[in-house]
Amino acid sequence: MEKVRKSEAEWRAELSPQEYQVLREAGTERPFTGEYNDTKTVGVYRCRGCGTELFRSQTKFESHCGWPSFYAPSESDAVTLIEDSSLGMTRTEVRCASCDSHLGHVFRGEGYPNPTDDRFCINSVSLTLEPGE
């Protein structure tokens, strides 16, 4: 996979302040406020930072957690998983494998009725949706 490399000045010029805070500083948007939280549109979810395909609408499910949730990325190498020990807990951070932008976190074994029992909890601001058939 081709790596996207940009300077911090380039990222700041291309992203809104909220996008920069989430994608480049590992921030989190407020729950239930994101553009794609309740979206049912069929299509492809791409990284807002670089346009790489990350998730497909067929893997999006209702988790009622306040952020868009997916049970699997589009490709096994689309995202990078990193242990995150911030905030006094251990979580698994999800980043775009192409540009290293923060997307959200993945939680496993919560009992959701999906094929993987994974919940990729992703910030809407880190995604764009390309509608499809």
Give the C-alpha separation, 46 to 48, whole Å: 6
User: How far is 112 from 47, CA to CA, in rounded Å?
Assistant: 25
Which residues pair with residue 118 across a beta bridge?
A: 108
Q: Which helix (H) or strand (E) holds 8?
A: helix 8-14
Active site residue 121: yes
Residues 6+ apart with CB under 8 A from 85: none
**Residues with catalytic roles:** 121
